[in-house]
């Protein structure tokens, strides 16, 4: 380990550790050497070692647990399948097997629900075709698995559609909010999903108890009725280290064309 290979020292140290993690000589959950040990081993100052570690933390490869040391991160994703709301059972044997493989079997789910009437955020207002000043009902849910927060799901509905309905009550709706909306005469037949990948905001970091180096998927689904009226926008924040998002697709039947 020297300066001739002209990467900065902290890069070289990070690379060395990353290689050990990739190769498996440092397994998930394993403890890294302490900062002091690495300082002596590489002959640099502690701050330089810390910079190398900070790099890996930001890459999501390791976590620090003061004062125990640094550890290789463990991962165990669970499936998020947006299509499930329109189709409980997968079409294909492939998807069936996939969902089974990643199921959260044996883990204990829980959710907290909160309902409010608010002015919609700009992106929601736009997708619901609302004039400025029109209000929305929002059902905010935080979902937990084994006591750990797993994702945030906020569903927005135009207030004039759902006022006084079951949707306004902060309880679990067994048959689903979509079904309630359908009973009110607004059955969704199509949805448009958008997925953005970015680093979390500080608020998201806090609400989801995210470690540094954990990106999130920002999933925004807009549900439309047969007539094309948007009646629901659902925003889900999915921490990258706890989820796989999956879709199944099928080739169109030729007669499908306009």
Partner DNA sequence: TTGTAGCCATTGTCCAGTCAATGCGGCCAA
Partner DNA sequence: TTGGCCGCATTGACTGGACAATGGCTACAA
Closest listed residue to residue 78, CA positions, set 215, 245, 219, 243: 243
Q: Which two tokens stand for residue 22?
A: 């990739």
The Cα–Cα gap between 228 and 190 comes to 8
Return the number of the residue (68 or 132) whose C-beta is nearest DNA.
68
Could you tell me which stretch among 66-74, 122-130, 168-176, 188-196 binds DNA (CB under 7 A)?
66-74
Of 24-32, 35-43, 85-93, 138-146, which part binds a copy of itself (CB under 8 A)?
85-93
For position 82 contacting DNA by CB under 7 A, the verdict is no
Residue 18 engages DNA in binding (rule: CB under 7 A): no
* Contact flags string 194-223 toward a copy of itself, x per CB under 8 A: xxxxxx--x---------xx-xxx----x-
Q: State the chain's maximal CA–CA distance in angstroms.
A: 71
DSSP state of 12: H
**34, 71 in Cβ contact below 8 A?**
no
Phi, psi of 195 (to 5 degrees): -125, 120
Note whether 156 and 120 are within 8 A (CB): yes
Distance CA 209, CA 118 (A): 25
Q: How far is CA 148 from the centre of its chain?
A: 13
The CB density around residue 160, as the number of other CB atoms within 10 Å, is 10
Told to check if 87 binds a copy of itself by CB under 8 A, we report yes
Residue 6 binding a copy of itself, by CB under 8 A: no
Site for DNA contains 66 (CB under 7 A): yes
Residue 44's alpha-carbon distances to 18, 19, 67, 186, 219, in angstroms, are: 18, 20, 21, 66, 44
Does 185 bind a copy of itself (CB under 8 A)? Our answer is: no
CB of 10 to a copy of itself, least distance (A): 12
The reply to whether 70 sits near DNA by the rule CB under 7 A is: yes
What single DSSP character describes residue 187? Answer: -
Which CB, 95 or 125, lies closer to a copy of itself?
A: 95
Contact between 244 and a copy of itself per CB under 8 A: yes
Answer with the entry of a copy of itself, DNA, none that 195 interacts with (C-beta below 5 to 8 A by kind).
a copy of itself
Give min distance, CB of 42 to a copy of itself, in A: 19
Rule CB under 8 A: say whether 155 interacts with a copy of itself: no
- H/E segment holding residue 205: helix 202-207
Helix (H, G, I), strand (E, B) or coil at 31: strand
Give CA–CA dist 26/9, Å, rounded.
21
Nearer to DNA, 82 or 212 (CB): 212
**Where do contacts with DNA occur on this chain (CB under 7 A)?**
3, 8-11, 32, 34-36, 43-48, 50-51, 53, 64, 66-70
**Where do contacts with a copy of itself occur on this chain (CB under 8 A)?**
15, 18, 58-60, 77, 82-83, 86-87, 89, 91-95, 98, 187-199, 202, 212-213, 215-217, 222, 224, 228, 230, 238, 240-241, 243-252, 257-258
């Amino acid at each position: 380990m020297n300066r001739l290979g002209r990467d900065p020292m902290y890069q070289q140290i990070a690379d060395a550790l990353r290689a050990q993690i990739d190769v498996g000589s440092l397994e998930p959950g394993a403890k890294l050497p302490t900062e002091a040990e690495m300082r002596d081993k590489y002959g640099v100052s502690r701050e330089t070692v810390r910079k190398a570690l900070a790099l890996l933390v930001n890459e999501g490869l390791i976590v620090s647990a003061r004062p125990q040391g640094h550890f290789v991160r463990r991962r165990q994703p669970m499936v998020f399948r947006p299509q499930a709301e329109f189709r409980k059972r997968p079409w294909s044997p492939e998807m069936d097997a996939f969902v089974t493989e990643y199921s959260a079997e044996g883990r204990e789910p829980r959710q907290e629900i909160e309902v409010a009437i608010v002015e919609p955020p700009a992106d929601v207002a736009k997708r619901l075709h609302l004039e400025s000043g029109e209000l929305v009902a929002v059902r905010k849910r935080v979902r937990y698995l084994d006591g750990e927060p797993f994702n945030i799901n906020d569903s927005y509905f135009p207030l004039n559609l759902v006022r006084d309905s079951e949707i306004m009550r902060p309880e679990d709706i067994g048959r689903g909010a979509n079904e309630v909306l359908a009973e009110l005469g607004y059955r969704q037949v199509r949805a448009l999903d958008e997925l953005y990948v970015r680093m979390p905001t500080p608020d998201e970091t806090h609400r989801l108890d995210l470690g540094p180096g954990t990106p999130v998927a920002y999933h925004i689904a807009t549900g439309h009725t047969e007539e094309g009226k948007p009646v629901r926008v659902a925003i889900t924040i999915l921490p990258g280290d706890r989820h796989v998002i999956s879709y199944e697709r099928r080739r169109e039947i030729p007669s499908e064309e306009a």
